[in-house]
Amino acid sequence: MDYKDIKLTKDGAVATITIDRPEVLNAIRDNTMYEIQDALNGIAQDDAIRVVVLTGAGDKAFVAGGDISIMAKGAGYLDVIHGLPAGQQITWNIEHFQKPVVARLNGLALGGGTELALACDIRVAADTIMMGVPEINLGIIPGYGGTQRLPRIVGVGMAKKMVLTGEHISAQEAYRIGLVDVLVPKAELDDAVAKLCKRLASKSPIALAMGKEAINMGIQADLRTGLSIEARCFCMCFGSQDRVEGMNAFLEKRKPEFKGK
């Protein structure tokens, strides 16, 4: 498929989805989200890919938000009713994708940009970025999961402060409150992402998927239900060839070679 809003590249075990609309600071529109989903569909079928990176083109923005010019001129109430659930589903699909998704935050991550980052498993940021959910300044609120994922990550009080004031926060503050997981100087961003991806790609694909599922599903459940989810995911790992390889490699003092089986 020829994409208009994104670029998809593959390097070894890593696939990179780059939101490529630098002329509007990589602002997202419906088509952007649909193309991200299409790229993920293909990656899901490619066993050679073990890690996904989501980033923005250029060095100014990851995603500066939704494309306001489109929303202000062309989007009616019925468009929103039908379009918003689709966008929410795509962020859900990113969050629950079977392979780890790393957000490479290279610049502004505002509104929908912060929401896309929230859906990723690990957020790696340059120390020059800004984040925030400024939708309140437009008379709306976040619509791609920001009001739901943000409090789960930074706490209810901080989430309300960010959503209700619309203020931007620095990379350092984002790291302090847990919105960013890895913070590095801008010049070291690519190296940090590459090292993380290499480490993730060396793990069992089955264990990675089960680890994600146990956390994602368990956090929405009571503790007893969460423990049942963990047990199910553990057993899925234990019944795999990768588990046998991992334990044999440990005993033989060598690096394991996981096959995802």
257 classed as catalytic: no
Q: Which among 95, 135, 167, 252 is annotated as catalytic?
A: 135
Residues 6+ apart with CB under 8 A from 24: 64, 67, 69
Catalytic residue among 115, 167, 213, 252: 115
Cβ atoms of residues 18 and 55 within 8 Å: yes
Query: Catalytic annotation on 188?
Result: no
C-alpha to C-alpha distance for 121 and 249, rounded to whole angstroms: 27
CA–CA separation, 65 and 87 (whole Å): 13
- Write out the catalytic residue numbers: 115, 135
